[in-house]
Amino acid sequence: MKRSHPHRKCSLPAMFVSLSALVLISISILLFLYRPSSNSVSAVAAAADPGSSSLPELPRFSYFISGTAGDSGRLRRLLRALYHPRNYYLLHLDFAASDAERLDLAKFVKSEPAVSLFQNVMVMGKGNLVTSKGPTVMASTLHAAAILLRKAPNWDWFINIGSSDYPLMPQDDILHIFSYLPRDLNFIEHTSDIGWKEFQRARPIIIDPGLYHSKRSGVFWAKEKRSLPASFKLFMGSALMILSRSFLEFCIWGWDNLPRTLLMYYTNTLSSEEAYFHTVACNHRDYQNTTVNHSMRYVRWDEPPREEPANLTARDFDGMVGSGAPFGHSIPENDPLLDLIDRKLLLLLTDKEKRNPGDGVVVRPHSGSKRLEKLVVTLLDSHNFRSRQCK
């Protein structure tokens, strides 16, 4: 796998040099701060070794792209925007979608030439019953991670994508910047300062009928409230994250009892998808030091904040680009903003201009990698990284 330079503008070699210098600075900051397990030490060392002129090895992502009834059009568009031959993709339409819609999506996937060449996209044949804000959301995410661990070899990070998310830079840029990072970092926005959520989330007890009924309905509340846990500390944050393979193996294989105990605890908690991984990582010494307090999504909240983040529109374009985040959340279906992103940020080619799918294995970083690099350097610098872990 080689990364070649884009053949576009003449200033690009210069840009590439300054970029590598910045990456090296960030890596040395990282080396100084980070005392990870042995496999990631070698990853950083390989990246920072000035004697080796070769670029660090490119990672692979596994994407879980999930939607509900009527979302198959959005999932197709997402797959096109996120597609790269190195990665793996698991597409899921939940129980509310019809079998016909699921079949249609599977047919579309089969008809994409690159996909049939690289065999790296799977469509879940059956939809999970997912109750909004119920533990069935977590169950579905863990199910997807388990499938990807079993069916897709050697990926490094798991990224959950909903139908209203969208990438803000080409995969080449994200792969390039992540190639410099230790493979056990987990991007999870989190805090233990849960504020109002103590009374709205931690104390109420809910039951998700999706666990035992075969029809979708809402969660219901028990009359009793419970006290805050004493044997572990609660952490909450964003449900959008990037998780390392090693952390997901820890959560799913369950050789340590913590992930299982917490999963059972969170069965009765509202919006457990905004707390489960956060609490597991922050309550285990092997994972506390791997957390980076950022979701890697651009999200805007209304003032005063409502329960859901604001829908992004074309007016958010500059803010999105300035943030350096690789993904945006949330964008309504067919919003003109998506066309703008396709054209200006993803540099998506029309069907006619598409390179031959075999070409896709070459990674050519564009300007998006500079934006992402800046964000990553900020997140990993000494003011932000350690001081914002599991506090």
CA 17 – CA 53 distance, rounded (Å): 13
Residue number with CB closer to ligand NAG (18 or 382): 382
CB neighbourhood size of 43 (10 A): 21
Residue number with CB closer to ligand NAG (12 or 310): 310
Paired sense of beta strands 242-244 and 236-237, if any: unpaired
For the bound state, the minimum distance from the C-beta of residue 337 to ligand NAG, rounded and expressed in Å, comes to: 12
For the bound state, the minimum distance from the C-beta of residue 37 to ligand NAG, rounded and expressed in Å, comes to: 8
Residue number with CB closer to ligand NAG (355 or 386): 386
Q: What is the three-state SS of the chain?
A: CCECCCCCCCCHHHHHHHHHHHHHHHHHHHHHHCCCCHHHHHHHHHHHCCCCCCCCCCCCEEEEEEECCCCHHHHHHHHHHHCCCCCEEEEEECCCCCHHHHHHHHHHHHHCHHHHHHCCEEECCCCCCCCCCCHHHHHHHHHHHHHHHHHCCCCCEEEEEECCEEECCCHHHHHHHHCCCCCCCEECCEECCCCCHHHHHHCEEEECHHHCCCCCCCCEEEEEECCCCCCCCCCEECCCCEEEHHHHHHHHHCCCCHHHHHHHHHCCCCCHHHCHHHHHHHCCHHHHCCEECCCCEECCCCCCCCCCCCCCCHHHHHHHHHHCCCEEECCCCCCHHHHHHHHHCCCCCCCCCCCCHHHHHCECCCHHHHHHHHHHHHHHCCCCCHHHCCC
Residue number with CB closer to ligand NAG (40 or 369): 40
> Which window, 23-31, 66-74, 152-160, 183-191, contacts ligand NAG (CB under 6 A)?
183-191
For the bound state, the minimum distance from the C-beta of residue 387 to ligand NAG, rounded and expressed in Å, comes to: 7
> Which window, 84-92, 190-198, 225-233, 248-256, contacts ligand NAG (CB under 6 A)?
190-198
Residue number with CB closer to ligand NAG (191 or 378): 191
For the bound state, the minimum distance from the C-beta of residue 124 to ligand NAG, rounded and expressed in Å, comes to: 25
For the bound state, the minimum distance from the C-beta of residue 234 to ligand NAG, rounded and expressed in Å, comes to: 12
Q: Is 35 in the site for ligand NAG (CB under 6 A)?
A: yes
Residue selected from 16, 24, 96, 191 as contacting ligand NAG according to rule CB under 6 A: 191
Give the interface size with ligand NAG as a residue count (CB under 6 A): 17
For the bound state, the minimum distance from the C-beta of residue 286 to ligand NAG, rounded and expressed in Å, comes to: 6
**CB-based contact 296:306 (threshold 8 Å):** no
**According to CB under 6 A, which residues from 257 to 316 bind ligand NAG?**
285, 289, 293, 306, 308, 310-311
For the bound state, the minimum distance from the C-beta of residue 41 to ligand NAG, rounded and expressed in Å, comes to: 11
For the bound state, the minimum distance from the C-beta of residue 184 to ligand NAG, rounded and expressed in Å, comes to: 11
Closest by Cα among 260, 254, 290, 289 to 276: 260
CB neighbourhood size of 16 (10 A): 16
Which residues on adjacent β-strands are paired with residue 64? 90, 160
> Which window, 41-49, 189-197, 214-222, 367-375, contacts ligand NAG (CB under 6 A)?
189-197
For the bound state, the minimum distance from the C-beta of residue 237 to ligand NAG, rounded and expressed in Å, comes to: 7
For the bound state, the minimum distance from the C-beta of residue 390 to ligand NAG, rounded and expressed in Å, comes to: 6
Indicate the residue type of 388.
R
**According to CB under 6 A, which residues from 206 to 265 bind ligand NAG?**
none
Residue number with CB closer to ligand NAG (40 or 128): 40
Residue number with CB closer to ligand NAG (20 or 28): 28
Residue number with CB closer to ligand NAG (94 or 173): 94
**According to CB under 6 A, which residues from 308 to 367 bind ligand NAG?**
308, 310-311, 332
Residue number with CB closer to ligand NAG (308 or 339): 308
- Note the residues at the interface with ligand NAG (CB under 6 A): 35, 189-191, 193, 285, 289, 293, 306, 308, 310-311, 332, 386, 388, 390-391
